[in-house]
Chain A
Amino acid sequence: MRTMMIILAKDLWLRSRDSTLLVYAVVLPLGLAFMFNLVLGGGGGDRLGARYGVADQDRGPAATRFVTGVLRPMAAQGLITLHAVTSREEGRSRTERGELDAVFVIPEGFSAAVGAGRATTLEVVGDVDAPIAVQVAREAAQAYATELRSLRLASPDGTARDLPPAPLTLVDDASAVTRQLDTTTYHAAGMAVFFLFFAVMFGATGILDERSAGTLARLLAAPVSRHAILAGKLLGGVVAAVAGMAILVVASTLLLGARWGDPLGVAALVVAGVLAVTGLTGAVAAFSRTSEEASNRLSGLAMVLGLFGGALFPVAQLGGFAAVASLTPHHWFLRGLADLAGGGSAGEVLVPVAVLLCFAVLGGALATVRIGRLMRV
């Protein structure tokens, strides 16, 4: 432990004199999040090929009007595909499996309630990994609800039989639609986890830098263990990255209005995410001969994982990409944040945190197995 701390203190001192870390850990992710938010703010536009289900348990005129008047025209334009589902449960199950992006649940008695002027609901169950598709579904349902109110206002006596006389309440499924990050937080979190690789990288490549500078030989000649040297070097990356992420969370909250959720949950995700990326970078470094080779490989890996993991854009919108997203730490980090976005507590990110820690253990184990090669002068 003492050796780790001595190496950590030295590395942090050296790093503090180099602005590169600040740029990669804070300035770039914050700046890009700001730019994306500026350019794509408001949801990022329409999406192509959204798969919507309709669980029409009412089959009355108001329900039919929603399907034929709102959804079918969208399908006719190729914006969406429509699928019939028998129940809310089936719809929810299919969204969780990724077969559908959102399901409209029209409850039994919907048309009767609308006709009688009683309050009723139109529920949208959405896939957490398809935020744009879910947002469009919500907008469609909201538009229909607004249309009903407008028609009611246009008929002051409220007696016209074909006009829906009652207010319609749109209900979001709490575990689905609200389990998504708003655009600002999504871009901030996506950029944060994307650049995490670059912030953590110096810890792992630092060992290779020590080798090329000749100082690794001096470290190895000292009465300290190789594992302590490796841990000390990696810990430097962990501490720097966690500090960078903390600054980023606070700065994006204050400057961009990002809503990260429960601080304890965010902290757990940040630490687990940093450890996961540290493990992976350690493994890559252990299979590289030089710092330059490791940096190149890690840059490529950061790009690929960021792309497939949804750090750059919501990959669920691209169908097949979604299947491989769960193989990336980015996906689990963002999913954990999405779990918190709906007001969830730290306990709700246990699964994402556990998966991230698995990445850390796997990468760390690979690095440890290769420690002999990594520590060769």
Chain B
Amino acid sequence: MAVLEVSGLCKSFGETLAVDGLGFSVGEGETYGLLGPNGAGKTTAISMIAGVLGRDGGEVRVGGQRHHPAGRRTKAMIGYVPQEPALYPDLTGRRNLRFFARLHGLAREEAGRRAAEVLELVGLTGRGDDLVGTYSGGMARRLNIAAGLLNRPRLLILDEPTAGVDPQSRNAIFDAVRRLTADGVAVLYTTHYMEEAERLCDRVGILDGGRMRAEGTRRELVALVGERDQVTLRAEGDLGAAVRALAAIAEAGEVSEREDGVELLVRDARAVLPRILAAVTGTGASVGSVEVREPDLEAVFLHLTGRALRD
């Protein structure tokens, strides 16, 4: 079931069209990544979805209900984690969380309990009573995420949560997101890091210039643009015969002989791999190792927009 449905979302700032007819959906327990360079419209899009920013057009449905910027019922289902830590540095971590929990309608005692739970979840229980102003950047970002979980959201919106954090904090954030999706939370995750999208997201929407260029699973995106997997076999024997045998495989593209083996481009290498190995060993050659390298989202973005993701 789709927790979030977005269609025809539009937003302009003066003459600039920041988001142009954006549409996608996120299911229960799914992590959906909005991937795009800085200025692609990611933050504008999720600000509208979170109800922080008004929209010029389009529709957003959360939990099957129409969502308006002033819609309290649908907002109660959303956990929003802004890009920069949105916290009060002169309050302790715990007091910050209690304040935001109370805004979400939790009673005083329940707010205290929930604050303790989310502090535990992001590994900050020991620092909960310290002023946020004394936190490191990574700790502040973890607390920022914790604040987005206070209302036990069905939809968690994370706006580039790992920007500028150390690897340890990044892994902690990834672990937290995985635990949440395992519990059925739908996660909308924006990033301009291709590796993050590939590692974390079940589906990815590629956003550029305010428009959705393509969306799907990683494999679907790669297939969409016709990219092929690169298969490298380290082998010994009659490599010329091996090249000819591989070229006879229907799915194979370019096949070339290397000093220590053969290399070919092929669609859906994982499915074809048994036939590749059979073709090579059928010539009497012995295979030492196989490496399959799938095309990444960077290549997809380059193909779709004509420029690199981080240009």
Contacts and interface: CB of A to CB of B under 8 A. Distances in A.
Interface of A: 3, 6-7, 10, 13-14, 17, 213-215, 217-226, 372, 376-377
Contacts of A221: 50-52, 75, 78, 80
Nearest to B108: A6
A10 B103 CA distance: 11
Nearest to B103: A222
10 contacts: A6-B99, A14-B90, A213-B86, A214-B84, A214-B85, A218-B80, A218-B82, A221-B50, A225-B70, A377-B53
Contact of B73 (A17, A223, A225): A223
Interface in B143-157: 147
A219 to B, nearest CB: 7
B87 interface: yes
A350 B228 CA distance: 83
B105 interface: yes
A11 B104 CA distance: 17
A343 to B, nearest CB: 47
Contact of A218 (B53, B73, B100): B100
Q: What 3 A-B pairs come out closest when comparing CB atoms?
A: A223-B72, A221-B80, A214-B86
Interface string B49-91: 0111110000000000000011011011010101011111011
B84 A215 contact: no
A70 B276 CA distance: 123
Given A213-B88, A218-B82, A220-B51, 10 more contacts: A6-B102, A7-B103, A10-B91, A14-B90, A218-B100, A218-B147, A221-B51, A221-B52, A221-B75, A225-B72
A223 B86 contact: no
A344 B101 CA distance: 49
Interface of B is mostly: loop
Contacts of A214: 82, 84-86
Contacts of B88: 10, 14, 213, 215
Contacts of A224: 72, 103
Given A218-B80, A221-B80, A3 B47 contact: no
Contacts of B100: 218, 222
B80 A217 contact: yes
A226 B90 contact: no
A154 B72 CA distance: 89
A222 B86 contact: no
B76 A223 contact: yes
B90 A218 contact: no
Contacts of A377: 47, 52-53
Contacts of A218: 80, 82, 86, 100, 147
A220 B75 CA distance: 9
Q: Which of A220, A222, A372 has its CB near the most chain B CB atoms (within 10 A)?
A: A222
A17 to B, nearest CB: 6
B235 to A, nearest CB: 56
Contacts of B47: 217, 377
Given A223-B73, A377-B52, A217 B86 contact: yes
A17 B54 CA distance: 35
Contacts of B82: 214, 217-218
A3 B103 contact: yes
B92 to A, nearest CB: 11
A372 B54 CA distance: 9
B53 A222 contact: no
B188 to A, nearest CB: 13
Contacts of B84: 214
B70 A10 contact: no
Q: Which of A3, A17, A225, A377 has its CB near the most chain B CB atoms (within 10 A)?
A: A377
Contact of B99 (A10, A17, A220, A223): A10
A14 B84 CA distance: 21
Nearest to B147: A218
A62 B44 CA distance: 86
Contacts of A7: 103
B93 to A, nearest CB: 14
A223 B105 contact: yes
B50 to A, nearest CB: 5
Contact of A220 (B52, B73, B87): B52
Nearest to A18: B90
A10 B147 CA distance: 16
B86 A14 contact: no
A15 to B, nearest CB: 10
A7 B102 CA distance: 10
A213 B84 CA distance: 9
Contacts of B75: 221-223
Given A6-B99, A10-B99, A217-B80, A222 B90 contact: no
Given A214-B84, A218-B82, A223-B75, A17 B90 contact: yes
B103 A215 contact: no
A14 B102 CA distance: 17
Contacts of B103: 3, 6-7, 219, 222-224
Nearest to B73: A223
Contacts of B99: 6, 10
A222 B104 contact: yes
A200 B82 CA distance: 29
Contacts of A6: 99, 102-103
A226 B86 contact: no
Contacts of B104: 222-223
Contacts of A372: 54
